[in-house]
Amino acid sequence: MKPHPGMHTFKELQKMVNQQIVSQQLVHEPLELYEPIEYALSSGGKRLRPVLVLMAANLYTDHIEEALMPALGIEIFHNFTLLHDDIMDQAEIRRNQPTVHKKWNANVAILSGDAMFIKAYEYLLYYQGYNLQQVLKVFNETALKVCEGQQYDMNYETEEQVGEAAYLKMIGLKTAALIAGSLQIGALIGGAGEQEARRLYDFGWNLGVAFQLQDDYLDTFGNPEVFGKSIGGDILADKKTFLFVKAMEKAGADQKEELSSLVGNKELDPQEKIDSVKQLFRNLGVGDLTHIQAEQYYDKALREMDKVQRSPTRKAHLLDLADQMMRREK
Amino acid sequence: MKPHPGMHTFKELQKMVNQQIVSQQLVHEPLELYEPIEYALSSGGKRLRPVLVLMAANLYTDHIEEALMPALGIEIFHNFTLLHDDIMDQAEIRRNQPTVHKKWNANVAILSGDAMFIKAYEYLLYYQGYNLQQVLKVFNETALKVCEGQQYDMNYETEEQVGEAAYLKMIGLKTAALIAGSLQIGALIGGAGEQEARRLYDFGWNLGVAFQLQDDYLDTFGNPEVFGKSIGGDILADKKTFLFVKAMEKAGADQKEELSSLVGNKELDPQEKIDSVKQLFRNLGVGDLTHIQAEQYYDKALREMDKVQRSPTRKAHLLDLADQMMRREK
């Protein structure tokens, strides 16, 4: 489908976001507060969420300038959540760089994270439209969902068995909510009504869940040359992914015991652990199940997009991006 | 001065705030995220900042209902800053209760703090007035100042000597900014124009600095039976108070050496340390200097209040409160 002429591609919007970020004067006194913010924001990333804000706005208007600063606000918020999550998860590396709490310390990471969150609101407040309050309420609700998702994720770390429904709810809150909220906010800024913006939210929620399930799949079964991260990271970190959740559901008594003995085992050779868990996952067919589940969510997302009252030429770039998100690697 | 009949006293407003807090449904799933918020909010406190919001609104309108939820937002924000500060300062007790990171853990305190901050915005967004954006901008700027103040405070912990100007700037940001911002926000919600609301801000800033200086003074020279906290806590914690800053400025070489040898000394008997530092402070006259400085800021606050375009009968309760804040103990 040939896109409408006023529409921008992912690459164009990504460039626009990156240029805008670079042009911001983020660092001033006290440096310990602001340098980590610039550090976190300048360390790259796909800028997926701000681009989604802009693409959703672009569905309704050719003039997306008004959405640019709020889009940056969403990116700043996203990086704030990563910053605080990295403290909680004791992660040492983010985007091939030391995390903020490693480069500085935990106190700096807590406080500059807080300041970053305030900055996110500051950028959203550049928006002057009649529906500012509505936009901010969506942002607020979304932000709270992301916190809830992170809390469930932390809770599940110490629970032996997590059900499928609970897992899907958790990734919905932790990952899909912000993708959904970005689209909803973009639509509202672009001029969409409340119901229409809600359709973008539903599209984004389903896309986001599909995206995370795909991520779970690729982290274990992806092609290391194409997938950005090294394969098996989730297994080594004993993460409760969809693969693991389904494996525990499908496993017989013996397999359950084997899987339980592998989880948390720090003595095994890393590659051996990855291979053993992968083999177990293969025997149980959970790779395919994850893949099928991701496809179902993606189909649901596309059906939600069908309800969106815009022409196919307007929707083309956003659907392209969704397709790219799902087809990154097989 | 007899107050205007539509005006509310501190006690009335404090009761209103407390009743409103109790009536909120703050706890739901996941409990680890929301229980600490209720715990922090229900642990008391004077509710000074939300009362200031309401008093400032009350200067301009008899109908202060519209300011009540934003006032709660300010109180939630204040408690959020305490929650995160307590992690950073490794404080174990707050208002005679274990701090959140002690009762739960640091991760819970970080994340429920973040959620609390989002809640603060949620409450501010109850406000529907024409100047919502302005109110939120003031809140945002204020919140950022509080973070800057906390960062300077942490920086000063490791600096041997802190100048008077730097110290006054720090307490301005960390303590006075929120008192000032509360008044400014209340005035804006009550219907004050931008310039007039700014006068309330200036009143609050000077009052806030005076209040903190008074706090520094009382923590060392207060009457333990009247002052809520035990005397000498700042000395034991090696805090850089105004007393300390002035002492380092006034001290001769010998006294400087003595003070330096007392700071950070963990082997001394606590009461002995308090007595020695107090004696040194007395010899240098820094108690009086602190007291004089506090009075100067208070006078400045009163002169700012003179510029506020409201009748003395409207101002009476707010001036009463300011007086109480300054005269709590001598």
**Measured between CB atoms, does A27 come within 8 Å of chain B?**
no
Least confident of A57-61, A179-183, B197-201, B264-268: B264-268
**Measured between CB atoms, does B107 come within 8 Å of chain A?**
yes
Cross-chain residue pair B147–A118, CB shorter than 8 Å: yes
Cross-chain residue pair A114–B32, CB shorter than 8 Å: no
Look at residue A100 in the predicted model and tell me its pLDDT.
96
Neighbours of B195 (CB within 10 A): 9
Q: Domain for residue B193, yes or no?
A: yes
Cross-chain residue pair B30–A152, CB shorter than 8 Å: yes
Q: Domain for residue B36, yes or no?
A: yes
**Measured between CB atoms, does B128 come within 8 Å of chain A?**
yes
Per the structure, the count of domains in chain B is 1
Q: Domain for residue B4, yes or no?
A: no
Cross-chain residue pair B144–A119, CB shorter than 8 Å: yes
Q: Whole-angstrom Cα distance, residue B73 to residue B116?
A: 9
What three-state secondary structure class fits A315? helix
pLDDT tens sequence across A132-182: 999 999 999 999 999 999 999 999 988 888 999 999 999 999 999 999 999
Look at residue B266 in the predicted model and tell me its pLDDT.
85
Instruction: Report whether pLDDT(A329) > 70.
Output: no
Instruction: Report whether pLDDT(B102) > 90.
Output: yes
Q: Domain for residue B259, yes or no?
A: yes
- Under 8 Å between Cβ of B72 and B123: yes
Residue A94, domain extent = 10-327
Q: Which of B106, B125, B154 sits opposite A136 (nearest CB)?
A: B125
Q: Whole-angstrom Cα distance, residue B150 to residue B80?
A: 13
- Under 8 Å between Cβ of A4 and A84: no
Q: Domain for residue A64, yes or no?
A: yes
Q: Which chain B residues have a beta carbon less than 8 Å from that of A162?
A: none
**Measured between CB atoms, does A87 come within 8 Å of chain B?**
yes
**Measured between CB atoms, does A195 come within 8 Å of chain B?**
no
**B187, B171, B53, B192: which is closest to B120 by C-alpha?**
B53
Q: Which amino acid is at A218?
A: L
Q: Which of A114, A119, A121 sits opposite B121 (nearest CB)?
A: A121
- Under 8 Å between Cβ of B176 and B205: yes
**A56, A51, A89, A88: which is closest to A71 by C-alpha?**
A51
- Under 8 Å between Cβ of A208 and A180: yes
Look at residue A228 in the predicted model and tell me its pLDDT.
66
Instruction: Report whether pLDDT(B228) > 80.
Output: no
DSSP H or E segment with residue A181:
helix A177-190
Q: How far is A109 from chain B (nearest CA, A)?
A: 10
Instruction: Report whether pLDDT(B225) > 80.
Output: no
The DSSP code sequence of A247-295 is: HHHH--HHHHHHHHHHTT--SS-HHHHHHHHHHHHHHHTHHHHHHHHHH
**Measured between CB atoms, does A84 come within 8 Å of chain B?**
yes
Q: Which chain A residues have a beta carbon less than 8 Å from that of B148?
A: 29-30, 33, 115
Alpha helix stretches (DSSP H) within chain B: 10-23, 31-41, 48-58, 68-88, 100-103, 106-124, 132-157, 164-171, 177-190, 194-221, 233-236, 242-250, 253-262, 270-284, 286-307, 312-327
Handedness of CA A278, A280, A282, A287 (dihedral sign): negative
Q: Whole-angstrom Cα distance, residue A125 to residue B308?
A: 28
Task: Collect all residues with Cβ–Cβ distance below 8 Å to B177 and sequence separation of at least 6.
Answer: B142, B145, B146, B149, B205, B208
| Residue A97, strand partner residues | A94
When pLDDT is cut at 50, 70 and 90, the band that residue B1 belongs to is low
Look at residue A330 in the predicted model and tell me its pLDDT.
42
Q: Domain for residue B135, yes or no?
A: yes
The pLDDT of B184-191, averaged and rounded, is 98
Q: Whole-angstrom Cα distance, residue A58 to residue A16?
A: 13
Cross-chain residue pair A140–B117, CB shorter than 8 Å: no
What is this structure's pTM? 0.95
What three-state secondary structure class fits A132? helix
ipTM: 0.94
Long-range pairs for A19-28 at CB < 8 Å and ≥24 separation?
A: A20/A68, A20/A69, A20/A72, A21/A72, A21/A75, A24/A72, A26/A119
SS3 sequence of A62-100: CCCHHHHHHHHHHHHHHHHHHHHHHHHCCCCEECCEECH
Report the Cα B52 to chain-centroid distance in Å: 11
Instruction: Write out the two tokens for A304.
Output: 């939600």
Q: Which of A37, A147, A155, A162 would you mutate first to test chain B, the one with the most B CBs within 10 A? A: A147
Q: Which residue does chain B place closest to A128, by CA atoms?
A: B133
Q: Domain for residue A79, yes or no?
A: yes
The pLDDT of A283-301, averaged and rounded, is 97
Q: Which chain B residues have a beta carbon less than 8 Å from that of A87?
A: 107, 110
Q: Domain for residue A3, yes or no?
A: no
Q: Whole-angstrom Cα distance, residue A68 to residue A16?
A: 8
Cross-chain residue pair B144–A110, CB shorter than 8 Å: no
Task: Collect all residues with Cβ–Cβ distance below 8 Å to A71 and sequence separation of at least 6.
Answer: A17, A49, A50, A51, A53, A54, A182, A186
If you average pLDDT over every residue of chain B, what do you get?
A: 94
pLDDT tens sequence across A207-260: 999 999 999 999 999 987 776 677 898 999 889 999 999 999 999 999 999 999
Please name the residues between 31 and 60 in chain B that touch chain A, using a CB distance below 8 Å.
32-33
Q: Which residue does chain A place closest to B34, by CA atoms?
A: A148
Residue A164's CATH number: 1.10.600.10
Q: Whole-angstrom Cα distance, residue B311 to residue B302?
A: 14
Cross-chain residue pair A111–B88, CB shorter than 8 Å: yes
DSSP A241: -
Q: Whole-angstrom Cα distance, residue A216 to residue A234?
A: 8
DSSP B104: S
**Cα dihedral value B184, B190, B192, B196, nearest 10:** -30
Q: Which of A122, A140, A155 sits opposite B32 (nearest CB)?
A: A155
Q: Which of B28, B107, B108, B178 would you mutate first to test chain A, the one with the most A CBs within 10 A? A: B107
